[in-house]
A and B are shown apart, each in its own frame.
Chain A
């Protein structure tokens, strides 16, 4: 049943709070400030609570069930993060307060900068960017400014492998630079010969996602970084898949010059509609002077101070980033410790390999790079033998009926009918088995009753949506049913 908009609920005179009669002289609001037509709904507290509970019941979230959305790292978000972020000492701060009065918050930011730098092997970190793609933009603007500082401002080319995240080419274009795509070889690594052909005096750098969106660790990463550096380029690391390698290898040690972190993926802060996100950026010593400012530093008296890097690209965001999210990520790191973070990555990779191996053994869904050990995710194909008319989309929609969020579909683009599955470390073996079981049953249904898949989902609040018509002929306003017109 569809839930009406809150503007379509209520009755005149209904309200949630009883305000006592005024017992002081009234000061009338000047007439020019009084709005006659203010179409706000009049509702009781129960009306409001039920409306939002109804909406929340239609939602699917990591608190409801398994959410194997590849490259999104939809891990469970521990509730202790929420408790810490709600401490009055954090909640009641104002970003314009005198630094002397917010030393605790600045200490937390300073320590998080240091912890992220240690985890990924960098010299300096900014916490400002609002999310992953914003971190990418920050990183590429830093690379560009560093090239200008080297006297190489004429360079305009950024190389992006075809197994990279889709935001990488968009970031390049937004930065005023030019994208050249690099193909993958048959093992899913960057094609080194294609890379070598593009190493020239126009190169700003390379953006690489490692592990890639194929869920594979780039086996030539050290050589790739060396080649790019020899050509005068810089290497950007897309840190979205950091959950696979924490405590095992540090991107900075591999030769990456600049990388963003997705706190809302790797470090368990809320994600998607539950965000906002946060995309800190780490850099090498050479690039540290270009970071956006201000960042937190500590002076000789042990006081935390706001500091502007000497050749900063400027602010990329108002105030100091999404501070509440920063508190949650800090909590997560402190709850785990160094050993715990390594264990997170080991279990994430173990879970993905367990699923890949079981799915491959059953043989219903091809796994094009299944001959390699995967990292924290893998890519299967929604091409079921004996069910030619069934597509990845149908499998994904049918999974909703089995109570699961579908995997990422049709990405990466280099795998036809891609289903990109990322279980994360927070799921039990029982959950992983139940998901494999559902995929097996769906493959059987695809062969015996394909229409069941074509018309799925059957058990969701809405049935199959017409995505094509929504894109071609979008209707962006709602006409309320006559009996629910705004009261």
Chain B
């Protein structure tokens, strides 16, 4: 299988993408993640204003197959959530790199450096696929 990757984003091992836009980090789930989940039927988002730490489960994405946590890839404050996902969860499948879940104002932007770039993530996905 070949999957799409956003070259401008960084990736967590739990398959979230994180894109620095101005001074906020925009977060969604990767094309590989949405393909594994199959049709997304429900998204639960965090509260705006919540303080989160990297690796913490802050949102839920549910398909007909499974419900999975979406982790915060960086620590900080949730400054926006994409409420349109609540009524149209299918955009997570249709446009995974456009369908952002939440935006975090990072307390330590260098945490982004600990994440994989697109090439490293592509190799990681290939490894997962083989396993």
By a beta-carbon cutoff of 8 Å, the part of chain A in contact with chain B is 409-410, 413, 416, 467-468, 471-472
B66 & A410 in contact (Cβ 8 Å cutoff): yes
Q: How many residues of B contact A (CB 8 A)?
A: 9
16 A-B contacts (beta carbon < 8 Å): A409-B65, A410-B65, A410-B66, A413-B66, A416-B36, A467-B39, A467-B64, A468-B39, A468-B41, A468-B64, A471-B41, A471-B42, A471-B64, A472-B41, A472-B89, A472-B90
Chain A residues contacting B66 (CB-CB under 8 Å) are 410, 413
Give the Cβ gap from A52 to chain B, nearest Cβ, in Å: 30
Taking chain B's interface residues, is the majority helix, strand, or loop, or is none over half, making it mixed?
loop
Chain A residues contacting B41 (CB-CB under 8 Å) are 468, 471-472
Chain A residues contacting B39 (CB-CB under 8 Å) are 467-468
A472 to B39, CA, bound (A): 10
By a beta-carbon cutoff of 8 Å, the part of chain B in contact with chain A is 36, 39, 41-42, 64-66, 89-90
A409 to B63, CA, bound (A): 13
Chain B residues contacting A468 (CB-CB under 8 Å) are 39, 41, 64
A246 to B115, CA, bound (A): 47
Give the Cβ gap from B126 to chain A, nearest Cβ, in Å: 14
A410 to B36, CA, bound (A): 10
A145 to B42, CA, bound (A): 35
With A410-B66, A468-B39 already in contact, 14 other A-B pairs whose C-beta atoms are closer than 8 Å = A409-B65, A410-B65, A413-B66, A416-B36, A467-B39, A467-B64, A468-B41, A468-B64, A471-B41, A471-B42, A471-B64, A472-B41, A472-B89, A472-B90
A409 to B64, CA, bound (A): 11
Chain A residues contacting B36 (CB-CB under 8 Å) are 416
Q: Sort A-B residue pairs by CB-CB distance and give the 10 closest, nearest first.
A: A471-B41, A468-B39, A410-B65, A467-B64, A472-B41, A413-B66, A468-B64, A471-B64, A468-B41, A410-B66
A472 to B41, CA, bound (A): 5
Chain A residues contacting B64 (CB-CB under 8 Å) are 467-468, 471
Chain A residues contacting B89 (CB-CB under 8 Å) are 472
